[in-house]
Amino acid sequence: MTHEHIPGLDLNNGVRIPQLGYGVFQIPAEHTQQAVESALEAGYRHIDTAAAYRNEAAVGAAVAASGLAREDLFITTKLRNGDQGRAREAFEESRSALGLDQIDLYLIHWPVPSQGLYLQAWREMEQIYSEGLVRAIGVSNFLPDHLEELLGEAAVPPAVNQIELHPTFQQQALADTSRRHGMAVEAYSPLGQGEDLDNAAVAQISQRHGATPAQVVLAWHLASGNIVIPKTATPERMRENLGALSVELSPRDMEQINELDAGRRLGADPATASFSQY
Ligand code: NDP
């Protein structure tokens, strides 16, 4: 499975994003360059990082060392909560850490409604976008209230809402609202941080297809139209996860996984999350 097999999704401004990418949250900075080099070698072309992950420089080093053409790569990073009042400076810090002239996708990491700064941050991001320093801008962890408020003010509508989404936490209403407003839905923690892989129904479907549980869960995301960014530290699993691209689920398989939704959020609740280190 190589990058030629990874389907692209067209965002609302025509920019194409590889639907299956590689996330680097919780990979320590000293291991990130090697991990991203392995991911690129395995065939990934879309890398998801964030200023808060403290590994942007290592992602940039891996990109530089890969020798791949810049236009063949898609790099996402995110604005830290504590930086919403200084989005321009924070963007420049990320761009410089990554060593890139242009970022492909820049996201507001969390809305932090208690801070009241995301509209201000969005205006700065629109300006950065208009200067061509980023190819698309979007949000992460935005709930319908936050989306409504942003859309009421935005000159550039967000291209993406990156949200926690996996079989036991499907957030169908939020995904539908995001799509209705033209945003692509990007699923973070797509494997339920590994916990959704032990599910009996997932195991049953895996057996039917001669595939692994991770491949089945990722194939379900892809067939649902989600962008996915699974994280793994090991090259074997990087390749395994790319193998999801050749798993074709039946309508019955899809229905069986749709029925696993249990409202089981693993991460923080965006309505109240306010950690400034993010
Ligand atoms: P994932 O659902 O991607 O799960 C990662 C876990 O699954 C790791 O423990 C990994 O273990 C394990 N795993 C991966 N592949 C396999 C496999 N084939 N078989 C068995 N186990 C596997 O959760 P994350 O929370 O890491 O989310 C992925 C990405 O989403 C992050 O890296 C980040 O980019 C993004 N994210 C964004 C957030 C936001 O607020 N916007 C919040 C959280 C995540 P191992 O590494 O040992 O292989």
With a 6 Å cutoff on the Cβ, whether 214 touches ligand 1 is yes
* C-alpha 59: how far from chain center: 15
Distance 51 CA to ligand 1 centre (A): 17
**Structural domains for the chain:** 3-194+225-232 (3.20.20.100)
Q: Considering only CA atoms, which residue is closest to atom 30 of ligand 1?
A: 188
With a 6 Å cutoff on the Cβ, whether 33 touches ligand 1 is no
Give the confidence band of 1 by pLDDT, cuts at 50, 70, 90. Answer: low
The two three-digit tokens of residue 33, written as one number: 């360059």
Of the candidates 238, 231, 202, the residue with the CA atom closest to the CA atom of residue 217: 202
Distance separating alpha carbons of residues 71 and 46, to the nearest angstrom: 11
Q: Considering only CA atoms, which residue is closest to atom 25 of ligand 1?
A: 189
Distance 161 CA to ligand 1 centre (A): 18
Give the confidence band of 114 by pLDDT, cuts at 50, 70, 90. Answer: very high
The torsion defined by the Cα of 185, 261, 188 and 242, in degrees rounded to 10, comes to -90
Of the candidates 266, 262, 222, the residue with the CA atom closest to the CA atom of residue 243: 222
Quick check: helix, strand or coil at residue 1? coil
Contact 187, 226 (CB under 8 A): yes
* Given 22, 44, 53, 118, the catalytic residue: 53
The two three-digit tokens of residue 190, written as one number: 């797509």
User: Would residue 53 show up in a list of annotated catalytic residues for this protein?
Assistant: yes
User: Which ligand 1 atom sits nearest the alpha carbon of residue 233?
Assistant: 46
Pocket test for ligand 1, best of 106, 110, 143, 188 (most atoms within 8 A of CB): 188
Distance separating alpha carbons of residues 38 and 49, to the nearest angstrom: 16
Is the model's pLDDT at 205 over the cut of 70? Answer: yes
Contact 174, 199 (CB under 8 A): no
User: Which ligand 1 atom sits nearest the alpha carbon of residue 25?
Assistant: 32
User: Which ligand 1 atom sits nearest the alpha carbon of residue 107?
Assistant: 41
Give the confidence band of 2 by pLDDT, cuts at 50, 70, 90. Answer: low
With a 6 Å cutoff on the Cβ, whether 231 touches ligand 1 is yes
Of the candidates 33, 55, 44, 37, the residue with the CA atom closest to the CA atom of residue 241: 44
Number of H helices, E strands in the chain: 10, 10
Query: Given strand 184-188, what is the order of strands in its sheet?
Result: 22-23, 46-48, 74-79, 103-108, 134-140, 160-164, 184-188, 227-228
With a 6 Å cutoff on the Cβ, whether 189 touches ligand 1 is yes
- Structure confidence by residue, pLDDT tens digits, 27-61: 999 999 999 999 999 999 999 999 999 999 999 99
Give the confidence band of 200 by pLDDT, cuts at 50, 70, 90. Answer: very high
Of the candidates 93, 97, 71, 88, the residue with the CA atom closest to the CA atom of residue 18: 71
